[in-house]
Structure 1
Amino acid sequence: MTSSADAQMLLVQLLDPANRADPYPLFAQIRERGPLLMPESNMTVFSSFADCEDVLRHPDSCSDSMKSTVVQRQLAAGAMPPRGNTPGFLFLDPPDHTRLRRLAQQAFAPRVVRELEPEIAATVDGLLDAMAEAGSGDLISDLAYPLPVAVICRLLGVPVADESRFSSAAALVAQALDPIMTITGEPAEQADARLAAGDWLREYLGGLVEQRRTHPREDLISALIAAEEDGDQLSAEEIVATCNLLLIAGHETTVNLIANAAQQMLRDTGYWAALAADPDRASAIVEETLRFDPPVQLSMRIAGADMRIGEVDVACGDTMLLLLAAAQRDPAMYEAPDEFRPDRDSVRHLSFGLGPHFCLGAPLARLEARVALSKLTARFPRARPAAEPVYKPNVTLRGLASLSVAF
């Protein structure tokens, strides 16, 4: 059994930027030790596919951090303030989660996603035109980043002139998802900047909500204002929280998905050439990337009751840290798990979650990635890396900051 001190040491290594480019050997080391029990921190770390799947499916798994024993202890001691802003539905549990998600889903219907495809294709074509003219490019700043920003801003109705500041604030807020406080007990660097970015985003989105109440448009905020079920509507705070969540979840993760897939195909040019010749292969590339190098590397749940996961008893209120990136290379689940194989017969993964918290934006993320990757490889069938890739500091939403290519 791994001691609590050893478990803490392994988790701190996950936070080390030196492991950002390739955290998978460390994930494997953790997975081989089985669940990490950390009673002093009221936390258990799961890293096998079976255990992570059980936690995500378990009816007593909760997403509301206010149910955590540690959080309640800190509140009682005055070590942290009560929750102020309304959280997005990702961080709520039924019945609040059910209500908010059902209303938001009306404005995120499959029809809306399908209707976006021509606009996504046109956006990708424009970005690739600029790269072709330059003769080289950075697949992050020139494609993977601006595409989902443009799409989510189009959905929300954010003016083009504000997109740059909007996306910069979103990138800072995304870093707040890293479990630095959970693992180390200390606040993260730039914590104040992230809080300030979050405050600015909420204020900005609140202004848009007020504008759309008097002047509705064909955008997501107007649809959320109009969304109603059984006489129930979203409050202004709930709309802001929902848009904030969709912005972070729908932006950073899609950037990582597109970039991680492109990088893997650049490492194995046979897959790049095959996709360039056959755009129908894009779905297989996307699904294997979601398994092999997922945009969301870890997730957390709170035990809403005493639970048993595998051979481990988890006490009510304890935190369960799920290392999804480790689970999706579990040899008990996959043949040759450390090999990128888009031709696998089927790919089950946990990258979009399971159960009531299954990712609302999964169809849009898949669509953006398929269009971007198929058009990228068709336009530049002989692309090659031009420099070493650079990674962002993010742990949870791990991804590339730069991926230079030449054509």
Structure 2
Amino acid sequence: MNEHVQTASTAPLFDPLSPEFIRDPYPHYERLRTTDPMHQTPLGNFVASRHAEASLVLRDKRFGKDYVERSIRRYGPKIMEEPVFRSMSHWMLQQDPPDHTRLRGLVVKAFTARRVEDMRPRIQQIVDQTLDAIVGQGQMDLIEDFAFRLPVTIICDMLGIPEDHREVFYKSSRDGGRLLDPVPMTPAEIEQANAGNLMAQTYFQQLFELRRKSPGDDLTTQLVQAEEDGSKLSNEELTANIILLFGAGHETTVNLIGNGLLALHRNPDQLALLKANPALITNAIEEFLRYDSSVQLTGRVALEDIDDLGGKKIPKGESVLCLLGSANRDPAVYPDRPDRLDIVRPNVRPLSFGGGIHFCLGAQLARIEAEVAISTLLRRLPELRLDDVENPEWRPTFVLRGLKRLPASW
């Protein structure tokens, strides 16, 4: 017994790639919130685990992304020669104003609540077609066979990726998440990421050519035209941000659907409640987002010295990692048993989509996709059971929290 106590106390408070952490980060978060809510890691980052500090940092103008400087600090001066880091430096997600403002302004119209609501019939059609193809089999992997196809199809629609190009995207591996983790990548991981980035760049350059010749009613056409305007968008920015939209447009939604389905099946009372009253789905999605967020962390850099954040001084240039998954279970905001799944919980406002100027562009799209996917599955396959509710296989990344597979039968 004593040995166990020893390792628990000497283990680092924040070790996000350890198997225990990936399996269930929430006890670790509770320890951080109660013992060291603005924890400083050996790498110098500060880790904000409470809702108050995390939500403040996301919205405060004294914090920004400062991506190039931050990467050089972590990896050394040559890091921006690595293609994948160069590409990411152009992502609007990693930009500060005025570049962020310019880039986001070019795509924001495609994601308005109105535009997204108009996509609901198409979303329903894809979910129904996916289930039609599989309903006779009696079993499937809820991730690959179900959750994955919907958001990939929708983002392909939005980007104007032709139908006959899509098979490769349905089959593509989902290992890009490692890029976002707060643990430095090895040279081998960087090399692998570069190869993935090169493949994506090569494909999208071809898509740009296609859309220059035959414009469509899609985001790629819109951005290609902005690029030709010269002042609005460089080719490198265009390529990087299409890659970002493609990745962000499916990866996290797959996880939201998978994590939500797992949470329901781990809480049979809540599953029964939702089946009995399907109208609860809208609030249920907010609760899934809160309870087991697809995105566990987002970071900012102090753009000036900060005298006091949760009792710590943050020097200019240091990163603050906002633990969204921890903030979402902070008893200061959710006093009623925050570790419990409760699909009728009042006032659920998860931090899962971030906040401030980088608030997730696709938040409303993700909500509707998850809503249609989960409610249709429960309606059409009411007898569905997960093969292993207790020990599902998580993907080995931390920032993007999701399941590798989730076998089910009916």
How many pairs are equivalent?
394
Paired position in structure 1 for 2:268: 269
Q: Determine if the alignment matches structure 1 residue 326 to structure 2 residue 326.
A: yes
Letter in 1 for 2:387: A
* Paired residues of 1:144 and 1:259 also in contact (CA < 8 A): yes
Q: Determine if the alignment matches structure 1 residue 171 to structure 2 residue 170.
A: no
Alignment CA distance shift 1:152-1:348 (3 Å): same
Letter in 2 for 1:32: T
Alignment CA distance shift 1:189-1:396 (3 Å): farther
Paired position in structure 1 for 2:68: 66
Paired position in structure 2 for 1:149: 152
What displacement does 1:148 show?
0.7
Letter in 2 for 1:286: I
What displacement does 1:167 show?
5.2
What displacement does 1:252 show?
0.8
Greater Cα shift, 266-275 or 239-248: 266-275
What displacement does 1:79 show?
6.5
What displacement does 1:133 show?
0.7
What displacement does 1:195 show?
1.8
Q: Aligned equivalents of 1:152 and 1:310: distance in 2?
A: 39
- Give ranges in structure 2 of 5+ residues lacking alignment: 1-8
Per-residue displacement from partner, 1:194-229 (whole Å, max 9, x unpaired)?
22101211221122112211211122201223459x
What displacement does 1:235 show?
2.8
Paired position in structure 1 for 2:40: 38
* Paired residues of 1:74 and 1:80 also in contact (CA < 8 A): no
* Paired residues of 1:63 and 1:302 also in contact (CA < 8 A): yes
Of residues 129, 135, 139, the one that matches 2:132 is 129
Greater Cα shift, 92-101 or 388-397: 388-397
Q: Aligned equivalents of 1:261 and 1:79: distance in 2?
A: 37
| Identical counterparts, % of pairs | 39
* Paired residues of 2:38 and 2:312 also in contact (CA < 8 A): no
* Paired residues of 1:170 and 1:247 also in contact (CA < 8 A): no
Letter in 1 for 2:139: S
The 5-angstrom pairing of residues 83-232 of structure 1 reads 84-85=86-87, 87-166=90-169, 171-181=174-184, 187=186, 190-226=189-225, 232=231
* Paired residues of 1:67 and 1:302 also in contact (CA < 8 A): no
What displacement does 1:7 show?
9.4
* Paired residues of 2:394 and 2:402 also in contact (CA < 8 A): yes
What displacement does 1:170 show?
6.7
Paired position in structure 2 for 1:392: 395
Q: Aligned equivalents of 2:371 and 2:10: distance in 1?
A: 38
Letter in 1 for 2:304: A
Alignment CA distance shift 1:343-1:73 (3 Å): closer
TM-score, normalised on structure 1? Answer: 0.89
Secondary structure at the counterpart of residue 341 of structure 2: coil
Letter in 2 for 1:19: F
What displacement does 1:161 show?
3.7
* Paired residues of 1:226 and 1:233 also in contact (CA < 8 A): no
Secondary structure at the counterpart of residue 340 of structure 1: coil
Paired position in structure 2 for 1:349: 350
What displacement does 1:8 show?
8.3
Letter in 2 for 1:212: R
Q: Aligned equivalents of 1:208 and 1:248: distance in 2?
A: 16
Q: Aligned equivalents of 1:55 and 1:193: distance in 2?
A: 32
Per-residue displacement from partner, 1:90-143 (whole Å, max 9, x unpaired)?
100011101110111133333431232111101101111233211122211111
Letter in 2 for 1:100: L
TM-score, normalised on structure 2? Answer: 0.89
Q: Aligned equivalents of 1:21 and 1:279: distance in 2?
A: 30
Q: Aligned equivalents of 1:152 and 1:73: distance in 2?
A: 33
What displacement does 1:173 show?
2.3
Per-residue displacement from partner, 1:23-43 (whole Å, max 9, x unpaired)?
211121222222355386332
What displacement does 1:47 show?
0.5
Letter in 2 for 1:318: E
Letter in 1 for 2:290: R
Alignment CA distance shift 1:189-1:216 (3 Å): same
What displacement does 1:299 show?
1.2
* Paired residues of 2:149 and 2:170 also in contact (CA < 8 A): no
Letter in 2 for 1:304: L
Paired position in structure 2 for 1:26: 28
Secondary structure at the counterpart of residue 93 of structure 1: coil
Paired position in structure 2 for 1:234: 233
What displacement does 1:232 show?
4.8
Paired position in structure 2 for 1:16: 18
Q: Aligned equivalents of 2:10 and 2:149: distance in 1?
A: 39
Q: Determine if the alignment matches structure 1 residue 294 to structure 2 residue 315.
A: no
Q: Determine if the alignment matches structure 1 residue 311 to structure 2 residue 314.
A: no
Letter in 2 for 1:327: A
Secondary structure at the counterpart of residue 346 of structure 1: coil
Per-residue displacement from partner, 1:71-99 (whole Å, max 9, x unpaired)?
248545x5764863352101000111011
Secondary structure at the counterpart of residue 118 of structure 2: helix
Greater Cα shift, 17-26 or 44-53: 17-26
Paired position in structure 2 for 1:401: 404
